[in-house]
């Protein structure tokens, strides 16, 4: 029986929860998460946890906030004049926004406070400052030498990641590969 190693294409089912046992992401009712181990497309500790697993193995892991999405930082909050906000947007606390960066990339932020003439934007990852627990089950494994282009995942979002790929759909800060 094969054991998962760097370069292998794996499919896992998982449930991700916070310290208070609230589930923040899960593959329940959707396809398993497919990724190549060692590409850095997921939280490093999540990828490392899959190493050595064989199909059917289950594992529970704990990832400290610093090793997940980092600590929450007040420096990631900034104030923007309301006149700079898109026209017609219904501004409420929690409203998600996309910011186009100078390099063409997109950052996902949310409104954290609304003042008379300005809006406070929070650019922290939604899971920043949170310790994460994952229950992982390895459901498929393909050796690196046997991977074809047809096997490649269309995107590598999951585990609470923000969607940054056109093939991913977002719903409540989680991603669904199409």
Q: Are residues 146 and 118 in the same domain?
A: no
Domain count, the chain: 2
> Residue 96 pLDDT more than 50?
yes
Q: Is 150 domain-assigned?
A: yes
pLDDT of the residue at 147? 77
Q: Is 1 domain-assigned?
A: no
Q: Is 178 domain-assigned?
A: no
Instruction: In whole angstroms, give the CA distance from residue 107 to residue 18.
Output: 24
Residue, of 19 and 173, whose pLDDT is higher? 19
> Residue 145 pLDDT more than 90?
no
Task: Give the CATH number of the domain where residue 65 resides.
Answer: 3.10.50.40
Q: Are residues 61 and 138 in the same domain?
A: yes
Instruction: In whole angstroms, give the CA distance from residue 176 to residue 178.
Output: 6
pLDDT of the residue at 129? 97
Q: Is 134 domain-assigned?
A: yes
Q: Are residues 25 and 42 in the same domain?
A: yes
Mean pLDDT of 30-37: 95
Residue, of 165 and 129, whose pLDDT is higher? 129
Share of the chain above pLDDT 70, in %: 84
pLDDT of the residue at 92? 93
pLDDT of the residue at 88? 87
| The last residue of a domain, from among 122, 139, 162 | 122
Task: Give the CATH number of the domain where residue 111 resides.
Answer: 2.40.10.330
Q: Are residues 14 and 65 in the same domain?
A: yes
Model confidence at 155, in pLDDT bands (50, 70, 90)?
low
| The last residue of a domain, from among 106, 122, 138 | 122
Phi-psi region of 135 (alpha: psi -120 to 50; beta: other; left: phi over 0): beta
Q: Are residues 14 and 58 in the same domain?
A: yes
What backbone phi and psi angles, to 5 degrees, belong to 137? Answer: -125, 125
List the Cα angle 156/148/54 in 5-degree steps: 65
pTM above 0.85, yes or no: no
Q: Domain span at residue 103?
A: 74-122
CA 114 remoteness from chain centre = 27
What backbone phi and psi angles, to 5 degrees, belong to 22? Answer: -70, 130
Q: Is 14 domain-assigned?
A: yes
Digit-coded pLDDT (tens) for 45-79 = 999 999 999 999 999 999 999 999 999 999 999 99
Q: Is 2 domain-assigned?
A: no
Q: Which two tokens stand for residue 163?
A: 């969607």
Q: Is 166 domain-assigned?
A: yes
Question: What distance, in Å, lies between the first and last C-alpha atoms of the chain?
Answer: 30
Q: Are residues 79 and 65 in the same domain?
A: no
């Amino acid at each position: 029986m094969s054991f998962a190693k760097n370069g292998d294409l794996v499919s896992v089912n998982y449930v991700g929860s916070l310290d208070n046992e609230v589930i923040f992401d899960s593959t329940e009712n959707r396809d398993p998460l497919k990724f190549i181990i060692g590409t850095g497309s997921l939280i490093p500790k999540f990828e490392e946890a899959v190493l050595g697993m064989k199909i059917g193995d289950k594992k529970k892991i704990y990832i400290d906030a610093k090793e997940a999405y980092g600590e929450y930082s007040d420096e990631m909050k900034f104030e923007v004049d309301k006149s700079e906000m898109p026209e017609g947007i219904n501004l409420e606390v929690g409203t998600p926004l996309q910011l186009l960066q100078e390099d063409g990339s997109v950052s996902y932020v949310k409104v954290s406070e609304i003042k008379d003439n300005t809006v406070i934007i929070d650019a922290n990852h939604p899971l920043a400052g949170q310790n994460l627990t994952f229950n992982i089950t390895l459901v498929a494994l393909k050796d690196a030498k046997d991977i074809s282009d047809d096997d490649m995942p269309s995107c590598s979002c999951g585990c609470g990641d923000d969607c940054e790929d056109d093939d991913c759909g977002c719903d409540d800060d989680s991603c669904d590969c199409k």
